[in-house]
């Protein structure tokens, strides 16, 4: 085992540097949310409370879009929950690595568990299986350090200064780029590719369904397709 992996400070620094490039998309993403939230009628306290408590950009934007469409509250809650169901899978994937941490540490990890912190951390844990628990915890918090404060601050900036942003400076690009950067490196197995293909295909095919309910169907079918692909490949490997 190298000295680097025995040092939590070094692990924290690696996590920080690994997450730093996401600053380029986190800032416009958060500013976009602040602008959209203000346009949707939320005041500063409401939108900042949502950003701090939820800290999940995709779910926040989805909920705002449905609020603007005057969707029923039950549909807004169900859709936001469905969008964030991936966090349950993230938690299950991280459990073998940091599940033995203290309760308070796990509570903070659960709060700061976002797409970026998960994607960077799980890849590091898989690439460095020799890392101990202190190093894994330090690395995880290193990944969120350059992201969370900027998310809060840029959200506030978007709410306060959104009206001054020229229309030609469209911030919508940040959303797809952010998720492409996250999911791209994670597509490693046939099951991953099948799930991604099904989710995209179904979501686009059902875009006509009101209140973006097609996303719920796409998510469920994608998970089923990915799971069945893994089962099929495992059976074929067993028979081979």
Task: Kindly state whether residues 75 and 159 are assigned to the same domain.
Answer: yes
Do 24 and 138 fall into the same domain? yes
Based on the domain organization, do 192 and 152 belong to the same domain? no
Q: Do residues 156 and 166 share a domain?
A: yes
Please report, rounded to a whole number, the percentage of residues in the chain having pLDDT higher than 70. 85
What total of structural domains would you count in the chain?
A: 2
Asked if 223 and 159 sit in the same domain, the reply is: no
pLDDT tens string 189-223: 787 788 888 888 988 898 888 776 777 788 788 88
> Is 69 a residue whose pLDDT tops 90?
no
Same domain, 150 and 211: no
Which of 186, 207, 226 finishes a domain? 186
Predicted TM-score (pTM) of this structure: 0.72
Q: Are residues 222 and 106 in the same domain?
A: no
Asked if residue 228 and residue 133 are part of one domain, the reply reads no
Closest by CA to 230, choosing from 197, 192, 201, 202, is: 192
Domain limits for position 217: 188-240
| Mean pLDDT estimate for the chain | 82
């Amino acid at each position: 085992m190298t000295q680097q992996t025995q040092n939590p400070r070094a692990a924290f620094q690696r996590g920080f540097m690994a997450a730093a490039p996401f600053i380029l998309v986190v800032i416009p993403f958060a500013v976009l949310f602040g602008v959209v939230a203000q346009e949707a009628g939320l005041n500063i306290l409401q939108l900042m409370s949502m950003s701090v408590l939820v800290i999940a950009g995709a779910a926040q934007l989805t909920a705002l879009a449905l609020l603007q469409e005057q969707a029923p509250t039950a549909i807004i809650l169900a859709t936001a929950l469905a969008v964030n169901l991936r966090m349950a899978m993230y938690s299950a994937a991280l459990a073998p690595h940091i599940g033995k941490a203290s309760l308070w540490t796990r509570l903070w990890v659960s709060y700061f568990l976002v797409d970026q912190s998960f994607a960077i951390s799980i890849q590091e844990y898989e690439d460095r299986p020799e890392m101990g628990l202190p190093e894994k915890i330090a690395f995880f918090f290193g990944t969120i350090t350059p992201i969370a404060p900027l998310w809060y601050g840029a959200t506030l900036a978007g709410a306060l200064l959104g009206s001054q942003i020229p229309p030609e400076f469209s911030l919508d690009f940040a959303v797809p780029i952010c998720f492409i950067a996250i999911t791209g490196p994670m597509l490693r197995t046939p099951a991953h590719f099948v799930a991604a293909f099904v989710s995209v295909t179904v979501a686009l095919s059902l875009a006509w369904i009101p209140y973006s309910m097609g996303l719920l169907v796409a998510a469920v079918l994608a998970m089923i397709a990915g799971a069945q692909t893994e089962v099929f490949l495992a059976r074929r490997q067993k028979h081979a």
